[in-house]
Structure 1
Amino acid sequence: MNLLRQKDFRKLWLAQVVSQFGDGVTDLAIVVLVALGSNHAWVVGCVLFAQLLPTAVFGPFFGPLADRLPRKRLMVCADLYRLCVVIAMIPCVQHPVALVVLVALHGLGTALFTPARSAVIPQVVGEAHVPEAQAISQSTWSAMRIAGPAVGGTLLAIHDVPLIFLIDAGTFLLSAALIASLHVGKGVDIAAAEKESYLEALRSGVRQVVHVPALRFLLLLFIPVTLAAGAFNTTYNVVLLQTFQVPKVHFGLMESVFAAGTIVGALLAPAVLKRLRPSTTLMTTCGLLGISCIAVLGLNLLRFSFGLAPIYGWMMATGILNALVNVPVSSLFITITPAEFRGRGAALLQAAVNLGSMAGMLSGGWMSTAFGALTATSVSGLMLIMTAVTFPWLKGYKALHAVPSRRRPDETQMKLALSQTGENGHVEAETTP
C-alpha cells in the first residue's frame, strides 16, 4: 500500500475506484432492465457478450494508438466518450436491444482506455513496483464488484433508474479530471512512432509480442486458462443455485465472499512474488485453482453434513487463487513487453482474455446442459491441472522462468536464459524490462 503515498499513482487509483464503482452500479441495472424488458433469456446473455466483444475484436486495433499518442490524453478521451454513452442510456431504459447496443459502444471506450492505462502504470510507479500496482488494481476491482452492485440494487429498489446512469456518468467525469491532472512523461517517442504507418505499427506490435518467447508462452497459456475460467464463471452459479440449492440471500453473500477472496489474494500476491518466481507462482496457483474446481464434487457430499460452511470456505479459497493467477500474469506481461510496445501488448492480452472467456462461457453452458454443472466445473479444474503439469515443459517457459518480478534483471543473465530458447538474439535483448 506504500504506492498510495505517491501522488500520481493515488490519482490513477482513485480514478479506477470511482469509474469502476459507477460501472458496478450500472452493470447490475442494465442486466435487470434487459431481463425485465425482454421475453427472451438470450438477450440477457447478450449483455455480457456486448461487454467483452469490443475489446476482443477491436482492442488490438486500438493498441497502436496507445504507443503513438499521449496515453494520458487517450484515457481522458475514453472516459469522456463513455460518459456520453452512459447519458445516452437514460432514454433507452425501456428498450433492451438499444441498451445492449449501447453496452457494446461503451465497450469500445474500454477497449481504448485499457491498453493506455496498462502502458502508463510503469511510467507512474516504476518497473520494480508493477506487481504492487497490479495487486492494488485487482483488489480495487474486487471491492467495487461488491460496492457497486449493492448501491445499484438499492437504487433499483426505489425505482430511481435515471440516477443510476447519472452517477455512472459523474464517475467518468471525475475519473477524467483525475487522470488529466497526472504528471507523467510521454512514455514513448511519439515522433519516432509516427514514422511508421498505423498498419506497420499494428503488424510490428503483433510481431514483437509473438516473437518474444516469454510473451508467446503467456499468450499460449491463456488458451486453456481463460477457457477454464469462462466455463467456471458459467457453471458455478448453476452449481450454487440449482445443485446445492443455496438460498438467494446466501448466494449474494457467497458472491461477496468470493470477491473478498480476490481482494485477499491480490494483497498477498506481492509478498508471494518476493519469495517465488512469477512463473512458479503462476503454474502453482493454476494447479491449485484446478484442484479447487474439482473439489466441488466433494462439496456436494460435505454440504449434507456441515451445511453451507464448506461452500463459503470454497468460495473464499477460489477467490484467493483466482487473484494469485491474475496478478502475476498481468505483472509479467507489462514488465516483459518493451516500453514502446506496451500499448499493443496490453491490447493483445485483453483481447486474448476476452476471446477465451467468451469461448469458455459457451463451452461451459453446453457442458452444463449435456453433462451437468458439477461435471462441467470439475472438467474446468482438470484442464487447469493439466495446464500446470504440461506447460512448464514447453520451451517458452524457460524464458518466463528467467524473469524475476521484484527487481530489474541483469541484462546478461536475461540474454543467457532467453538464448536457451533458440530465439533471435536481437528480440531476446528487447525482452529485458
Structure 2
Amino acid sequence: MTTVANVPASTWSPLRIGVFRVLWLAVLGSQVGTWMQMVGAQWLLVDQPGAAVLVALVQTAGTLPVVLLALPAGVLADSLDRRRLLIWVQLFMLAVGVLLTGLTIAGQMTPALLLALTFALGCGTAMTNPTYQAMIPELVPRAQLPSAAALGSISVNLARAVGPAVAGVLIAHTGVAAVFGINAATFLGFAVVLFLWRRHPTPDDALPEPFLAALRAGGRYVRHSPALRRFLLRVELFILPAVALWALLPLVASQRLHMGAGGYGLLLAALGTGAVLGAAVLPRLRAALSDNAMLWGGSLVYAVALAVVSVVRVPAVAVLALVPAGLAWMAVLSNINAGLQLFLPHWVRARGLGAYQGAFFGGQAVGALAWGLLAVRFGLVPALLAAAAVTAAGAATVRFWPLIETRHLNREPARPWPQPQLTVEPERFAGPIVVEVTYIVAPGNEPEFLASADALRRTRMRTGAVQWGLFRAGEVAGEMVEVYVVPTWDEHLRQHTGRLTGSDEEIDLRVQALSERPPTVVHLLPADVSR
C-alpha cells in the first residue's frame, strides 16, 4: 500500500512557494527574450556578405562567454551576495539591450558591433546562470530540489520553443528593434523582482573569500571530488552526441521533411511538449528508478528517437518521435542537475554549478560544430545515425562509469573542529599553515585506519589543503601522524567554520574512533608570523 510519505513530490510543488514562483517566471521571461534576441541578431545579418559565417558567429558570440566565464562566475556567486550580484548583472544587460535597440532603430548597427554586443550579453548570461541556480536551495526545501531542477529544464525548453516563434512574428510585423527592446525589458523585469525580494543573509556572506583564493579552492574541490567529476563526465558523454539533434534539426526540417520556418517551429514545439510531459512523470520515475537507471534509460530512448528522426520523411512521424526525445532530454539532464544540486555543499555550490555550466555549454559548442562538419562531409542522415549510435554507446558506459550514489550523503554544514587555541594570532592571510594530527593506533585497528586514510585525504584536499601525507613515527609504536598544508590561515579557519559537511564529519569521526586516545592537533605557523 502506498503511503503519503512514499508519494513523490509533484514537479510543480516548488511553484507553490511565492518567491520561487516569481523568480522562475522572471527567469523564464529572460530566457524567452534571449532566444528572441538571438533570432533578431541572426535576421539582421542574413543579407550581409558572408551571411552564413556571420549567422553562425551569433550563436558563438552568445555561448562562448558562458564557457570561458563559468568558473569565475561561480567564484563571484560564492563570494558575493547573490541577489545583489544578479541585480547588477541584469542592469548591465539592460544597458546593453537598450544600446542594441537604439543603434538598430538609428540604422547604425554594424555586424562587428552586433557580435560584440551579443558577446556582452553572453557575459551577462554566464554570470546569471550559476548564480541563480546556486540560490535555488535557499528558496525551496531540499526534498523539492529535483522538482526545481526539472522546472529549470522546462523553462529552458519552453523558451527555446516560444522565443524564436514570437521573434519571427514580431520581426515580420514591426522589425528587429522591437525584439531587442522586449529582450531589454525582460532584464529590467528580472532586476525589479530581485530588488523587491528580501533575501536572508547566510553565514558565508559575512566574510567573502578573495577572488583568486576562491578560484583555486573551487578548482581543488572539483579535482578532489570523484562524485563531482563523475557528474561532469556523464553530462559530457550525453551532450556531445545528443546535441546533434538540436544542431541539425533545421536541416532536417528543410531538407528531409521539406517544412518551412513554421514547420521547424512545430518540431521545436514537439521537443518542448516532450520536456513538459517528462516533468510530469519525472517524480514517479525518480521514486521508482535509481539515478543510473534514469541515465541509462533516458539515453537509450533519446538514441532511438534520434535514429527515427534521421530516417523518416513524414513530418507527422518526426513530430511524434521528437516528443519522447524531449522527455528523455529532460530526464537525463534534470536528473544530473538535481543530483549536483543535492550534492554540492553551500560554500562551493556556485563554483560546482559553474563547472557544470562550462561542461554543458562547452559540450554543446564542440558537439554542434563536430556534427555539422560530419554532416557536410558525409551527409545529414549518416551524421544523425552516427550521433544516435554514439548516444547509445554512451548509455552502455553507465555500467563502467556510473554516477556515484550521493543521495544518502549528509551535505549540511558541520563544525566538528573546535577553534584553534594559539599563543599567537596569525594575520588572516599568513601562510602556509602546516597542520599535524597525531593518532595512536592499536595494531588490530591499523589496517582499517590505513584503508580510511584515502577518504580522509580527499576531505582535507577538497576543503583547503594543497598537500597531504600520513607518516608513522619511528620511535613510538602505533603513532600515526597526519600532515597537511593549507595555503593561508584564512583558508584553514574556513575549514573550521563551514567548509566541512556532515559526510566529512562522519569520515573524520570514523578515523578518530580508531585512535586509542583523542588525536592531538598542532598548527605550525610561519616563523615570522608575529610580525
TM-score range, shorter chain: 0.7 to 0.9
Change (3 A) 1:207 1:267: farther
Structure 1, gaps ≥5 residues long: 412-418
The equivalent residue for 2:255 is 242
Alpha-carbon deviations, 1:266-322, whole Å to 9, x = none?
Answer: 33323321222223212221222122222345x43xx4xxx3221111111211111
The equivalent residue for 1:104 is 119
Rounded to whole Å, the distance in 2 between the matches of 1:142 and 1:231 is 16
Rounded to whole Å, the distance in 2 between the matches of 1:164 and 1:102 is 15
User: Is the 8 Å Cα contact of residues 79 and 176 (structure 1) preserved in structure 2?
Assistant: yes
The equivalent residue for 2:90 is 79
Offset of residue 18 of structure 1: 2.2
Structure 1 residues 111-190: aligned runs within 5 Å: 111-187=126-202, 189-190=204-205
Offset of residue 378 of structure 1: 1.5
Rounded to whole Å, the distance in 2 between the matches of 1:380 and 1:33 is 32
1:339 has 2:350 as partner: no
The equivalent residue for 1:416 is none
Alpha-carbon deviations, 1:153-204, whole Å to 9, x = none?
Answer: 222112343332222222111111112222333345134443xx32121111
User: Is the 8 Å Cα contact of residues 232 and 364 (structure 1) preserved in structure 2?
Assistant: no
1:67 has 2:84 as partner: no
The equivalent residue for 1:276 is 289
Rounded to whole Å, the distance in 2 between the matches of 1:188 and 1:273 is 33
The equivalent residue for 1:267 is 280
| TM superposition score normalised by structure 1 | 0.88
User: Is the 8 Å Cα contact of residues 22 and 168 (structure 1) preserved in structure 2?
Assistant: yes
Higher relative contact order (CA 8 A, sep 6+): 1
**2:405 equivalent among 402, 405, 422:** 402
CA RMSD of aligned residues (A): 2.5
Change (3 A) 1:62 1:149: same
- Name the SS of the counterpart of 2:201 in structure 1: coil
- Name the SS of the counterpart of 1:189 in structure 2: helix
What is the aligned residue count? Answer: 412
Offset of residue 209 of structure 1: 2.1
1:43 has 2:54 as partner: yes
1:373 has 2:380 as partner: yes
Alpha-carbon deviations, 1:338-392, whole Å to 9, x = none?
Answer: 1100111111111111111111111111110111111111111211211111233
Change (3 A) 1:38 1:126: farther
Letter in 2 for 1:312: V
**2:323 equivalent among 316, 337, 353:** 316
Rounded to whole Å, the distance in 2 between the matches of 1:63 and 1:251 is 35
Letter in 2 for 1:53: L
The equivalent residue for 1:414 is none
Q: Which structure shows the higher strand fraction?
A: 2
Rounded to whole Å, the distance in 2 between the matches of 1:15 and 1:177 is 9
Rounded to whole Å, the distance in 1 between the matches of 2:22 and 2:84 is 15
Rounded to whole Å, the distance in 2 between the matches of 1:270 and 1:210 is 32
Rounded to whole Å, the distance in 2 between the matches of 1:62 and 1:326 is 21
Change (3 A) 1:420 1:229: farther
User: Is the 8 Å Cα contact of residues 230 and 357 (structure 1) preserved in structure 2?
Assistant: yes
User: Is the 8 Å Cα contact of residues 92 and 98 (structure 1) preserved in structure 2?
Assistant: no
Rounded to whole Å, the distance in 1 between the matches of 2:114 and 2:502 is 43
Rounded to whole Å, the distance in 2 between the matches of 1:410 and 1:41 is 51
The equivalent residue for 1:285 is 298
Offset of residue 141 of structure 1: 2.4
The equivalent residue for 1:361 is 368
Change (3 A) 1:164 1:309: closer
Alpha-carbon deviations, 1:389-412, whole Å to 9, x = none?
Answer: 123313xx3xx34223xxx6568x
Alpha-carbon deviations, 1:58-91, whole Å to 9, x = none?
Answer: 2211211111100111111111111111111124
Structure 2, gaps ≥5 residues long: 1-11, 412-450, 463-499, 505-531
Rounded to whole Å, the distance in 2 between the matches of 1:236 and 1:378 is 13
Q: Which structure shows the higher helix fraction?
A: 1
Rounded to whole Å, the distance in 2 between the matches of 1:219 and 1:230 is 16
User: Is the 8 Å Cα contact of residues 79 and 173 (structure 1) preserved in structure 2?
Assistant: yes
Rounded to whole Å, the distance in 2 between the matches of 1:188 and 1:268 is 37
Rounded to whole Å, the distance in 1 between the matches of 2:55 and 2:502 is 42
| TM superposition score normalised by structure 2 | 0.72
User: Is the 8 Å Cα contact of residues 296 and 374 (structure 1) preserved in structure 2?
Assistant: no
Change (3 A) 1:296 1:160: closer
Letter in 2 for 1:314: A
